[in-house]
Amino acid sequence: MDLVIYLIHSLFLFVIFKSLIALFQNSKNKDSMNKPPEALEVTKTPVIEKILVKDLECNREIDRSKAYILIKNKQEYYFCCWDCRNKYLLRHGQV
C-alpha cells in the first residue's frame, strides 16, 4: 500500500513539475513575440501620389506614369493609348 501512495505522489509531483515548465516556456515565448527583433526597424512606407494628366484626344484623365507621351517643341502631350496618340497626330496633320 505504501508503494501505491508513493507512486501516486511521484506522478502528482511529475505532472505539477511538467505543467510549471510548460507555463514558464509559454510566458517566455509570449514576451519574445511582443518585442520586435532588434534587426528589424518599423518604418513608414512613403506615399507616392498619382499625377493625373488629360488625354488630348479622348479627354480622359490618366496616371502620368502610364501615359503615352508626345514631345513637340519642348511641350509634352499625354495620351491614354497609342491609338489616341495616332488619332491626335492624324487630326493635326502631323503624320
**pLDDT for the residue numbered 29:** 61
Q: Which three cell numbers, joined as nine digits, stand for 55?
A: 488625354
| Contact in structure between 53 and 77 (CB atoms under 8 Å) | no
Task: Enumerate the domain spans of the chain.
Answer: 1-40, 52-91
Q: Would you give per-residue pLDDT tens digits along the chain (95 residues)?
A: 788 888 888 888 888 878 888 877 876 666 555 665 565 566 677 777 888 999 989 999 999 989 999 988 899 999 999 999 999 999 887 65
**pLDDT for the residue numbered 37:** 57
| 68: Cβ contacts below 8 Å, ≥ 6 apart | 78, 79, 80, 81, 82, 84, 85
| Contact in structure between 35 and 62 (CB atoms under 8 Å) | no
**pLDDT for the residue numbered 62:** 93
Q: What is the DSSP letter of 37?
A: P
